[in-house]
Chains A and B, each alone.
Chain A
Amino acid sequence: MNLALIATVLIVMALAYQAGLTRSKAVATGGARLHSRPGYYGVLVALWCGLPALLLLGLWSLFQTDIIELLVARELPVELASLSEREMQVLMRRIGALASGQGVAGVAEPYEIAAAEQMARLETFGRLILLAAMAVAAVAGLVAARRRISPQLRARNQVERLITILLALCSGVAVLTTVGIVLSMIGETINFFRFVSPAEFFFGTVWNPRFSTSGTGGQGQFGLLPLLWGTLMVSAIALLVAVPLGLMTAIYMAEYAPPWLRSIAKPVIEILAGIPTIVYGFFALIVVGPFLSGVGELIGINIRTTSALTAGLVMGIMIIPFVSSLSDDIITQVPKSLRDGALGLGATKSETIRQVVLPAALPGIVGAFLLAASRAVGETMIVVLAAGNNPVLHANPFEAVSTITVTIVNQLTGDMDFSSPQSLVAFALGLTLFTITLGLNVIALVVVRKYRQQYE
């Protein structure tokens, strides 16, 4: 329905463009010199015709449900006024289902049927009003804009101002996303802290969210520390793999590799960055896990197939290209004069790299590590599949662990009520994760940016 309306408006806008175009041409043939080219007058008329109508449509789709529900609620029997907000929502959903002809479970009460009829009436009525308003707005806009066309009208400036405003609005979406993330998570986190105290959450050492919600007392223990520890352990293993390999790769590619090797190896290694993480998870589960546990058996250590080590190793592989390409950029940015100076003093190439290039590039490389670390902390699918999900505090990397991301997935993929602490805790965990990664990212960006300025 809405799509058809939008299509109609677009067609009308095309017609309005033609109207503006012919009109402006008519004005021009009168001998007057127009301020802008004819096309701009057409666009201006089309915009005046279409935008107000589209705005009306947008506003109506946003507030339609609320307005209608408000009006319907006023007509409900008085004794229903005492319903709680939640019960009211359920009732409204029933009435809505009746009004749309889907029917409801059980027998509909007479007042429900009456309300549904009223709702259906209001919906039809509202739609008619909307159509009328849109038509009036479109025609009025078209006529007014067309009449304004004169040689003096600065059509181009007006159209361009509007375009700039639209562009600026688009860049607001990113800000809105951040605001949405923060607000939604803070809201639900506050809800969660009504059930569990923050101290218990942040300093608790036991993670055991029982899934039986009988009363508010026995809702399980929500201690963050085992999850945080698991996250750190897996990330640390990942970095232990990725940092040396990635850094050495970057050094070799930037300083030693002949062009042919570079042109092959660089894109091949960067493929690793483009592989979906679910694929890494599966790889860890069926190849790396069994392999590690086989090796463990050979040397007499008990390594579980799904463990911190498995997840960390595979995550490390995933991050290698991330570390290597960032470090590569930074190493190649070190000016040639520094290298030439060191080489001229008789240093070997590796000495130059270790004692001149790397120290000069150090801040940038540290920034790269931090970005890699934040990647590792936020990574989900590898740990969901390969870390074993065992939220217990222990220091053995050969055992299963659980991480923050795994727990978010587990808490929100069950058939849980959205307002129980068991699912609300996911948002508290998400906020924690967001804060940690945000911190790492901010430090990394500051460090990298500071470094970049040195040679510019």
Chain B
Amino acid sequence: MTRSTTDTGLALADGESRRHKRLATIERSLAGRHARERRFRRMGLAAVSTGLVLVAILFASILWRGVPAFWQATLYLDVYLDPEVIQVEERPVREAGESPAQFREREIAWMSQLSLVNWNGLIDEALKAQLPGEIESRQSRDLRALVASGERFALRDRVIENPELIGQTVTVKMLAGANVDVWLKGNIDRTLPDRQQQLSAQTREWADDLYEREVIRNAFSTALFLNPDSRSSAASAGLAGAFMGSLFMMLIVIALSVPIGVSSAIYLEEFAPKNRITDLIEININNLAAVPSIVFGLLGAAIFIGYLRLPLSAPLVGGLVLTLMTLPTIIIATRAALRSIPPSIRQAALGIGASRVQTVFHHVLPLALPGILTGSILGVAQALGETAPLLLIGMNAFVANVPSSPLDQATALPVQIYLWQGNELRNFFEARTSAAIIVLLALMLSLNAVAIWLRKKFETRW
């Protein structure tokens, strides 16, 4: 009896201690497991934050570099349009009995007279009036470095437009030279020895002086938006040409890829029989969506330029290439949108006697429209940022004009970025490139925002 109780007691104690031991082991391992759990969780959080930080760094660095480029050193000069220097006749007036061609000829002759005027001399005089001391003519090179070289043409055009200005003193806004802009913004090390500086010591001194007296001010750079690219006058290079090129291409992409893409999606989703051929088309579209964009550039170079002999560097060719590239995206998005419309809608329409075409076009398509729009906008946004295929069809050629039709030579926003980042005038164009990137990103983000807004607005739960 006693034995057995002690036995049980022992056994109990034994069991107790074993349980304790087991509990201790479990607790220990549990602590380890919880620690591992926390570590794993922290790793996940770290990954997410890394992603967020990377986005922040990317945008911050581009903004930090690019935003200053929206303001450019600009001279506010009082230029005396000396009639002694500008010796031209009266602007021709169309006479009675003169054909438009004859009048145009006389007008052009008058304009070319104006082109021969020494505009640089006028600008020099205006600068000399602002600067202290006597300036000899051998310093005119230093003097001219202050002003962007394209500005004399701007002055000429102003007089051509309004000849009454001759003889008056007008206040003219002129872009300072690219190097002056770099110097004044401190984008170049000011302590560098003289021969590593782009500007002569004299010009730098003048620039600082004029900046202090607010003859040179940092003004918002309208040239960046209104001018096309320029090789001779870096400071007045702008995005207008690239913007028009991109616009033409996007119009072509929208006009072709949206109708074709939506139609083929409708066919595949609503009408196509399930057989080998439609299966093949489906696999095909999925593959096309993942084909590298540069391969589409090769296709464009071989077919549109090599075989069909369409002009090089034309937005038409670029638009066609981007259309082919965007098609799969739009088809896939549209199919997803169509699939999300419940079959009951179709059955109801068919039930009251609509044909299949009527069902699709009158009932399903309107309901799927928000989804289709969202997908199309995203596809077009993607096409807007594409660069590589455009390089292969020659859109990286230098173009100094704003294209006026899809057949003119043109460049595009992303290609302009590519061209500017390779410019030798690094100090100036690094900021310019970032500014162009900001413009491009702003366009893309607003397209994306529209897509998100559409999705939110029309979101339906069936």
Q: Give residues in A with beta carbon < 8 Å to B.
A: 156-157, 160, 163-164, 166-168, 170-175, 177-178, 180-181, 184-185, 187-188, 244-249, 251-253, 255-257, 261, 265, 267-269, 271-272, 274-279, 281-283, 285-287, 317, 320-321, 324, 348-351, 353-354, 371, 374-375, 377-381, 384-385, 405, 408-409, 412-413, 418, 426-427, 430, 433-434, 437-438, 441-442, 445
Chain B, interface size: which category?
Answer: 35 or more
Knowing A160-B357, A244-B47, A274-B444, the reply to whether A265 touches B267 (Cβ < 8 A) is: no
Return chain A residues, CB-CB under 8 Å to B271: 164, 167-168
User: Contact at B433–A178, with CB atoms within 8 Å?
Assistant: no
Contact of B386 among A171, A253, A276, A405 (CB under 8 A): A276
Beta-carbon contact of A171 and B288 below 8 Å: no
Cβ of A377 and Cβ of B392 under 8 Å apart? no
Is B92 an interface residue when CB atoms closer than 8 A count as contact? no
> How many angstroms from the CA of A226 to the CA of B401 in the assembled complex?
40
Binding site for A on B (CB under 8 A): 33-34, 36-37, 40-41, 43-48, 50-52, 54-55, 57-58, 61-62, 65, 259-261, 263-268, 271-272, 280-281, 284-288, 290-299, 301-303, 306-307, 324, 327-328, 331, 355-357, 378, 381-382, 384-388, 391-392, 394, 396, 414, 417-418, 421, 430, 433-434, 437, 440-441, 444-445, 448, 452
Smallest CB separation, A155 vs chain B (Å): 12
24 example contacts (A-B, Cβ-Cβ < 8 A) are as follows A167-B266, A170-B267, A172-B281, A174-B331, A177-B288, A245-B47, A249-B47, A265-B48, A274-B382, A282-B433, A321-B51, A349-B37, A351-B36, A354-B40, A371-B290, A378-B294, A379-B292, A384-B388, A408-B294, A409-B388, A412-B297, A412-B301, A412-B391, A433-B292
Residue pair A156, B355 in contact (C-beta under 8 Å): yes
**B299: which of A177, A248, A278 is its contact (CB, 8 Å)?**
A177
Residue of B nearest to A379 (CB): B292
Question: In whole angstroms, what is the CA distance A129 to B339 when docked?
Answer: 48
Closest CB of chain B to A195's CB: distance in Å? Answer: 17
Distance A107 CA – B303 CA, assembled complex (angstroms) = 33
**Is the pair B298, A171 in contact by a Cβ cutoff of 8 Å?**
no
Rounded to whole Å, the gap between the CB of A430 and the closest CB of chain B is 4
Q: Which residues of A contact B50 (CB under 8 A)?
A: 245
| Interface residues of B, dominant DSSP | helix
Among B291, B302, B386, the residue within 8 A (CB) of A427 is B302
Are A286's CB and B65's CB within 8 A?
yes
Inter-subunit contact B298/A185 (CB<8 Å): yes
Of chain B, the residue at the smallest CB distance from A316 is B54
Residues of B within 8 A of A271 (CB): 55, 445, 448
Given A164-B267, A349-B37, A405-B388; A174-B327 close (CB under 8 Å): yes
Complex alpha-carbon distance, A345 and B43, angstroms: 24
B285 partner residues in chain A, CB cutoff 8 A: 174
A442 to B286, CA, bound (A): 9
Q: Tell me the nearest residue of chain A to B356, going by C-beta.
A: A160
Query: Is B298 in contact with A286, judged by CB distance below 8 angstroms?
Result: no
Q: Which residues of B contact A378 (CB under 8 A)?
A: 291-295
In the complex, which residues of chain B have a beta carbon less than 8 angstroms from the beta carbon of A272?
51, 54-55, 58
